[in-house]
Amino acid sequence: MNLILIDDHKLLTESVRNLIIKEFGSVNVKIYHSGAAFVQDNRHAHPDLVITDLIMPGGVNGINVLDFCKEKFGDSVKLIVLSSMTNIQTVRYTIRSGINGFVSKGAPVGELVEAIKTVMEGKQYISSNLREELINTIFLDDQPEYNFSPREKIILQRICNGHTLKEIASELNLSVHTVHYYQRSILSKFNVKKTSEMIVLVIKKGLFIPEIK
């Protein structure tokens, strides 16, 4: 696996590189200490994974790095943000921009390992200390438009994460009929008739919070 690590803190990058090599073995880890150095280097091999901070010197921040990667490498590269900048607005913006994972620098080191494994399996990962706050705020901007009830929010997230109505009913201690009622209500508020159409809208609007597996 070719992995690129971008962060201006040298001690952190060396520690992360050692951790990755210890956990994953044969990994080619290349370090850049600024976003500018990364985007200006035309010699690096096509990366499988890019891990970047958001705030860096040199005029090229992490958002610029993410945009550069998506334009240059397309969907073939996985993107993880590793940052101490974890206000919910920033996290939501980066999720909507199409990143595969977001890990807080305040999280246990094991979370970065788990994030890499999860992302390379084609899933998304959000640091556990951010997840609860995200779920609590994800609908705030859209509440006037959709007016979801607290129960509808929970059921919508479960549906988008692939749970069946029977599984949701069991988890929430509700009848399948009741969960089906909530599902119909949600579809009505999105003005769609099919669950698949609803999920497409949810993803487009950035309302989907993936489960941590």
The CATH number for 169's domain is 1.10.10.10
Would residue 212 count as lying in a domain? no
pLDDT band at 209 (very low <50, low <70, confident <90, very high): low
Report the share of the chain in percent with pLDDT over 70: 89
| Residue 142: predicted pLDDT | 46
Over residues 104-108, mean pLDDT? 89
More confident residue, 31 or 154: 31
Confidence band for 143, pLDDT divided at 50, 70 and 90: very low
**Averaged pLDDT score across all residues of the chain:** 85
Closest CA to 133 of 160, 110, 113, 106: 106
| Residues 55 and 28 placed together within one structural domain of the fold | yes
Same domain? 196 vs 111: no
pLDDT of the residue at 37? 93
Asked if 154 and 54 sit in the same domain, the reply is no
Place of tokens 């006037």: 144
Asked if pLDDT for residue 160 goes beyond 70, the answer is yes
Tokens describing residue 205: 């609007």
- Is the whole-model pTM more than 0.85? no
Q: Which domain holds residue 198?
A: 138-204
Looking at the structure of the chain, the number of domains it has is: 2
Domain C-terminal end among 77, 103, 129: 129
Tell me if 159 sits within 8 A of 199, measured CB to CB: yes
Instruction: Read off the pLDDT of each residue in 12-39 and give the average, rounded to a whole number.
Output: 92
Same domain, 83 and 161: no
Q: Each residue of 82-98: b (16+ CB within 10 Å) or e? A: bbeebeeebbbebbeee
The percentage of residues in the chain with a pLDDT greater than 90, rounded to a whole number, is: 44
